[in-house]
Structure 1
């Protein structure tokens, strides 16, 4: 790849990353969430019986202390509750509340709006090419850095 093309790719990806994160932050702020909290709450809601902090951390590819900090920031919203694990009194299970479940359609709507806004007027074929290219780039980069960075989004 020529230097000018490499610069163009780097500039476009860096700019998109920053703009996407900011646009997502604004949409989520309207729901009382920060980026990353949407994904955490969504994953929790997929488990009707809840999950432990360790299970959640493993699912998100983050360390348990990071999950604990994220949950502490989310807790004031009343979107989940902590329940003791009967078989292990040292553990608690995080269970999404009705309020948390009610927030899920809004989260998913924010994701859909952002995807539509980002893709613009691209037709189905152009969207498929774009998504395939981005997914392949993600796979190559994941090979370089691993999965731990994915927990942020």
Structure 2
């Protein structure tokens, strides 16, 4: 790849990342969420028995203190509760409440709306090509940074 094409790729990906995050922030603000909180709550909602902070951090590919801070910001929404782990009272499991479960369809709808707005009038075939290219690029980048595939993305 020549330098001019590399610059074009760099600019396009950086700009898309910033714009997508800003658009996602607007979508989620209507739900009382910030980017990242949606994924955290969605993943928790997939686990009926809940998850410990360490398990959630591992699933998200982030550090436990980051999860703890995110949970503290989410706590006022009443979307989850903390329960002691029966086998180890020192550990706490985070469990989504009914209110949190009711929010999940709205999160998924916001994601779908944003994805549709992002890809616009592309045909199903064009969308598949775009998604395949992006997924392949993500896989290559994960290899470069030594990250395992994350399930929420």
Q: Is 1:121 aligned with 2:144?
A: no
Instruction: Tell me the CA shift for residue 101 of structure 1.
Output: 0.4
Write the distance in 2 (CA, Å) between the matches of 1:14 and 1:60.
Answer: 22
Write the distance in 1 (CA, Å) between the matches of 2:147 and 2:100.
Answer: 27
Structure 1 segments unaligned to the other structure (5+ residues): none
How many residues in Structure 1 have an aligned counterpart in Structure 2? 152
Alignment of 1:124-135 (within 5 A): 124-135=124-135
Instruction: Tell me the CA shift for residue 146 of structure 1.
Output: 3.1
Backbone CA RMSD of aligned residues: 1.7
TM-score (norm 1): 0.94
Q: Match of 1:15? A: 15
Structure 2 segments unaligned to the other structure (5+ residues): none
Alignment of 1:1-153 (within 5 A): 1-147=1-147
- Runs ≥4 residues deviating over 2 A: none
Q: Compare 107-116 and 58-67 and name the one that shifted more.
A: 58-67
Write the distance in 2 (CA, Å) between the matches of 1:83 and 1:3.
Answer: 54
What per-residue deviation string (whole Å, max 9, x for no partner) do you get for residues 90-113 of structure 1? 011111001100100000000000
